[in-house]
Amino acid sequence: MSRTLLRGARVITLAPGHPDAEHIDILVDNDRIADMGCGLDAPDADSIDFSGRIVMPGLVNAHLHTWQTGLRCVGADWTLLEYLTHLHGGLAGHYSPDDMLIGNLAGALNQINCGTTTVGDWCHNNRTPQHADAAIEGLLESGIRAVFLHGTPYRAPDVAHPLPEIDRLLDGPVRRHPLLTLGMATQGPQYSTPDVAVADFSAANERGIVVSMHQSGGEPTAAWDAVRAAGLLGSRTNVVHGAGLPDEWLKSLVEADVTFSITPENELGQGHGTPLTGPLLRLGVAPSLGTDVDSVAPGHLLTAARIALAHQRALDHEHHRLSTGAASENASVTGKQALSWATVEGAKALGLADQVGRIQPGMQADLVVIDTRALNLWPAHDPIAAALHADIANIEAVMIAGRWRKRAHSMLGADLQEVMGKLLESGERLLRTLGAPAIPAS
């Protein structure tokens, strides 16, 4: 049995009925939070003094194409059209299973280093079963908690999702590994015929797994009407981006408990449209957050949270000025809300709200320790703001399922130099193929 007692920190639980931050101890028993309170006594536990730190729930990156890690920064100036042309129309076709493995391994390790304990890996370059197996192997080797959202390269609208692959993965690695969950990354109704969209949603619902899809371009197509008429929308339906959705449709999706994942830095920079933050908040719900693609934007979820917060505040301030002629007296959105988008809402979007996203007895022990003694955060008068303003250098420790994956500002259990060397080799080889014919899937 492994027991750990975390003492001395200010704890942000994000649990209902708890204050924003409190001085309490946390007792971890194996992979779960066993107890919380002041002055806990656990003589058999490994006791760690985290005075001067903040402990909070592990971040949940709800939308990341982790396989693109080897192509970091190549598309920083690409528009959405250029990204689709160069990456999906070119580079993606040259990926081998080894490229998938090292991309997912390095990308997941980076997420842990940044304080993310759960990632929604929206993997839509599974050109063969071997590509999918390699991508999963990379996630498992990293030690991160992952929802592997199985997708495929773009295909004809009348071709359904390959369900034999879904069932193979459910009966194989997902059954064997407690940190791995499966979902479906489908083309979605916007890019499918009505029959295919209904079939894909039905398949996900029958298996009790999350079905996630990109939605852009405004007015939903007829396939969306077919899915809604079939009663297939629900809490395991996840819409990514959603920019430009008409009010009537947005309201209908919210009423059906559909979740939304936005990727604010990528959406604003590439031209997806205005993030849905404000429209969702006005309907009484909130988005989850993702960093989308390392080939375009950095993979730091706290940065995404700050951008989403600042962007929405800017829109609200401008609306107030235009409607009243005066400056706003109060902030329209709080830092605590933004922090919940990166934790509680991410867990909900990935179907893990009963396991992660909050610190409570019985929940999985996925925790992040933030060192507020550093010059960029000291003195941390407001723990919520300090957590939101933390940089990678402030992420002192990361625990996933009761096991330390980062301690004393250093990653554990990974040969980073070897990983980085393989990632560089993969990325350079892929970039040499830019503009070359794709490798046919076999």
Q: How many CA atoms lie within 13 A of 256 on its CB side?
A: 21
State residue 81 phi and psi, 5-degree precision.
Answer: -65, -40
Q: What structural domains and CATH numbers belong to the chain? A: 3-57+362-411 (2.30.40.10), 59-347 (3.20.20.140)
185-213 pLDDT, tens digit each: 999 999 999 999 999 999 999 999 999 99
pTM, entire model? 0.96
The pLDDT of residue 241 is: 97
Q: Which residues of the chain have pLDDT under 70?
A: 1, 436-442
Q: How far apart are CA 136 and CA 138, in angstroms?
A: 5
DSSP states of 56-98: EEPEEEEEE-GGGGGGTTTTTT--HHHHIIIIITTGGGG--HH
Alpha helices by DSSP H, 187-330:
194-207, 222-229, 247-255, 264-270, 277-282, 301-324
Tokens of 196: 């295919």
Assess contact for 292 and 264: CB atoms under 8 A.
no
pLDDT confidence of residue 442: 46
Is residue 149 within 8 A of residue 185, CB to CB? The reply is: yes
pLDDT at 327: 87
DSSP labels for 128-159? SHHHHHHHHHHHHHHT-EEEEEE--S---TT-
Judge residue 53's burial from the number of C-beta atoms within 10 Å of its C-beta, 0-12 exposed, 13-18 middle, 19 or more buried.
buried
Q: What is the pLDDT of residue 29?
A: 98
Judged by DSSP in three states, 341 sits in: helix
Instruction: Name every residue whose Cβ is closer than 8 Å to that of residue 82 and which is 6 or more positions away in sequence.
Output: 75
Reduce the DSSP state of residue 100 to 3 states and report it. Answer: helix
How much is the pLDDT for 434? 82
How far is 244 from 276, CA to CA, in rounded Å?
8
